[in-house]
Amino acid sequence: MTSPAALDPAYELTTERDRIDVARVHRLLLDHAYWAAGRSREQQEAIVAASRNYGLLERGTGQQVGYARIVTDGVTFAWLADVVVDPAHRSRGLGAALVDGILADLEPLGVKRVLLKASPEGAPLYVRTGFEALEDPEAWMVRRRH
Protein backbone atom coordinates (compact mmCIF):
# COMPACT_ATOMS: atom_id res chain seq x y z
CA MET A 1 0.00 0.00 0.00
CA THR A 2 1.33 3.42 -0.92
CA SER A 3 0.74 6.75 0.78
CA PRO A 4 -2.58 8.49 0.05
CA ALA A 5 -2.87 10.22 -3.31
CA ALA A 6 -3.02 13.98 -3.14
CA LEU A 7 -6.07 15.52 -4.73
CA ASP A 8 -5.26 18.02 -7.47
CA PRO A 9 -6.23 21.45 -6.03
CA ALA A 10 -8.35 22.13 -9.14
CA TYR A 11 -10.80 19.53 -7.78
CA GLU A 12 -12.64 18.87 -4.55
CA LEU A 13 -14.14 15.77 -2.97
CA THR A 14 -17.60 16.12 -1.47
CA THR A 15 -19.82 13.84 0.56
CA GLU A 16 -22.70 16.32 0.59
CA ARG A 17 -25.65 14.61 -1.09
CA ASP A 18 -27.13 17.88 -2.34
CA ARG A 19 -23.94 18.53 -4.31
CA ILE A 20 -24.12 15.17 -6.11
CA ASP A 21 -25.41 15.79 -9.65
CA VAL A 22 -27.47 12.63 -10.07
CA ALA A 23 -28.16 13.31 -13.75
CA ARG A 24 -24.43 13.74 -14.43
CA VAL A 25 -23.56 10.63 -12.42
CA HIS A 26 -26.15 8.65 -14.35
CA ARG A 27 -24.73 9.85 -17.67
CA LEU A 28 -21.10 9.13 -16.60
CA LEU A 29 -22.03 5.61 -15.57
CA LEU A 30 -24.07 4.86 -18.69
CA ASP A 31 -21.34 6.21 -20.98
CA HIS A 32 -18.25 4.90 -19.19
CA ALA A 33 -19.17 1.98 -16.91
CA TYR A 34 -20.18 -1.29 -18.54
CA TRP A 35 -21.66 -2.59 -15.26
CA ALA A 36 -24.28 0.19 -15.21
CA ALA A 37 -25.64 -0.52 -18.70
CA GLY A 38 -29.41 -0.28 -18.73
CA ARG A 39 -29.68 1.43 -15.34
CA SER A 40 -32.59 3.86 -15.35
CA ARG A 41 -32.46 7.39 -13.96
CA GLU A 42 -35.03 6.35 -11.33
CA GLN A 43 -32.79 3.47 -10.27
CA GLN A 44 -29.82 5.84 -10.08
CA GLU A 45 -31.79 8.23 -7.87
CA ALA A 46 -32.72 5.36 -5.54
CA ILE A 47 -29.11 4.18 -5.46
CA VAL A 48 -27.86 7.65 -4.48
CA ALA A 49 -30.56 7.94 -1.82
CA ALA A 50 -29.51 4.63 -0.23
CA SER A 51 -25.70 5.07 -0.38
CA ARG A 52 -22.84 7.08 1.09
CA ASN A 53 -21.92 9.18 -1.95
CA TYR A 54 -18.64 10.74 -2.97
CA GLY A 55 -18.41 13.30 -5.73
CA LEU A 56 -15.36 14.78 -7.41
CA LEU A 57 -16.09 18.33 -8.51
CA GLU A 58 -14.06 20.66 -10.68
CA ARG A 59 -13.57 23.77 -8.52
CA GLY A 60 -13.74 26.32 -11.34
CA THR A 61 -17.00 25.08 -12.84
CA GLY A 62 -18.57 23.00 -10.08
CA GLN A 63 -19.05 20.24 -12.66
CA GLN A 64 -19.12 16.70 -11.33
CA VAL A 65 -16.23 14.79 -12.92
CA GLY A 66 -16.15 11.69 -10.72
CA TYR A 67 -18.29 9.61 -8.46
CA ALA A 68 -18.23 6.56 -6.21
CA ARG A 69 -20.47 5.20 -3.51
CA ILE A 70 -20.37 3.00 -0.46
CA VAL A 71 -23.09 0.66 0.75
CA THR A 72 -22.44 -0.17 4.40
CA ASP A 73 -23.84 -1.19 7.74
CA GLY A 74 -21.36 1.28 9.23
CA VAL A 75 -19.68 -1.31 11.46
CA THR A 76 -18.58 -4.54 9.83
CA PHE A 77 -19.03 -4.32 6.08
CA ALA A 78 -18.81 -1.85 3.21
CA TRP A 79 -19.07 -2.30 -0.53
CA LEU A 80 -17.34 0.19 -2.81
CA ALA A 81 -19.24 0.60 -6.06
CA ASP A 82 -19.71 2.74 -9.17
CA VAL A 83 -16.25 4.30 -9.17
CA VAL A 84 -16.07 6.43 -12.32
CA VAL A 85 -14.05 9.43 -13.52
CA ASP A 86 -14.92 11.38 -16.65
CA PRO A 87 -12.36 10.40 -19.33
CA ALA A 88 -11.64 14.09 -19.99
CA HIS A 89 -10.30 14.33 -16.43
CA ARG A 90 -8.39 11.06 -16.19
CA SER A 91 -4.60 10.65 -15.81
CA ARG A 92 -4.52 13.25 -13.02
CA GLY A 93 -4.65 10.82 -10.11
CA LEU A 94 -8.32 11.58 -9.47
CA GLY A 95 -9.38 7.93 -9.22
CA ALA A 96 -6.68 7.24 -6.64
CA ALA A 97 -7.53 10.40 -4.69
CA LEU A 98 -11.23 9.48 -4.79
CA VAL A 99 -10.63 5.98 -3.41
CA ASP A 100 -8.18 7.26 -0.80
CA GLY A 101 -10.69 9.91 0.29
CA ILE A 102 -13.41 7.28 0.64
CA LEU A 103 -11.19 5.00 2.70
CA ALA A 104 -10.19 7.92 4.94
CA ASP A 105 -13.88 8.80 5.41
CA LEU A 106 -14.64 5.20 6.45
CA GLU A 107 -11.66 4.93 8.83
CA PRO A 108 -13.42 6.47 11.89
CA LEU A 109 -16.22 3.90 11.52
CA GLY A 110 -13.79 1.02 11.98
CA VAL A 111 -15.43 -0.98 9.18
CA LYS A 112 -13.74 -4.38 9.18
CA ARG A 113 -14.17 -5.28 5.49
CA VAL A 114 -14.47 -3.17 2.36
CA LEU A 115 -15.24 -5.20 -0.75
CA LEU A 116 -15.48 -4.33 -4.40
CA LYS A 117 -15.61 -5.97 -7.78
CA ALA A 118 -12.74 -4.56 -9.82
CA SER A 119 -12.47 -4.39 -13.57
CA PRO A 120 -9.13 -5.57 -14.97
CA GLU A 121 -8.15 -1.97 -15.78
CA GLY A 122 -9.17 -0.74 -12.32
CA ALA A 123 -7.54 -3.50 -10.26
CA PRO A 124 -4.07 -1.85 -10.03
CA LEU A 125 -5.64 1.26 -8.49
CA TYR A 126 -7.28 -0.81 -5.77
CA VAL A 127 -4.19 -2.94 -5.08
CA ARG A 128 -2.28 0.31 -4.52
CA THR A 129 -4.77 1.24 -1.78
CA GLY A 130 -4.51 -2.10 0.02
CA PHE A 131 -7.20 -4.22 -1.62
CA GLU A 132 -6.31 -7.86 -2.28
CA ALA A 133 -7.97 -10.91 -3.77
CA LEU A 134 -10.40 -12.74 -1.51
CA GLU A 135 -8.78 -15.51 0.52
CA ASP A 136 -11.69 -17.85 0.07
CA PRO A 137 -13.66 -16.70 -3.00
CA GLU A 138 -15.38 -20.07 -3.45
CA ALA A 139 -17.16 -19.51 -0.14
CA TRP A 140 -18.88 -16.38 -1.49
CA MET A 141 -22.23 -16.87 -3.13
CA VAL A 142 -24.59 -14.71 -5.12
CA ARG A 143 -28.30 -14.87 -5.85
CA ARG A 144 -29.27 -13.15 -9.08
CA ARG A 145 -32.70 -11.99 -10.08
CA HIS A 146 -33.70 -13.37 -13.47
- Is pLDDT of 1 > 60? no
What is residue 86's DSSP assignment? -
- The three-point CA angle 36-94-129 to 5° equals 85
Residue 3's pLDDT is 67
DSSP character at residue 3 = P
Nearest to 128 by CA among 140, 142, 143, 118: 118
Q: Is the pTM of this model over 0.75?
A: yes
Give pLDDT tens digits for 66-100. Answer: 999 999 999 999 999 999 999 999 999 999 999 99
Q: Is the pLDDT of residue 103 over 80?
A: yes
- Per residue in 21-72, pLDDT (tens digit) is 999 999 999 999 999 999 999 999 999 999 999 999 999 999 999 999 999 9
* Alpha carbons 56 and 7: distance in angstroms, whole number: 10
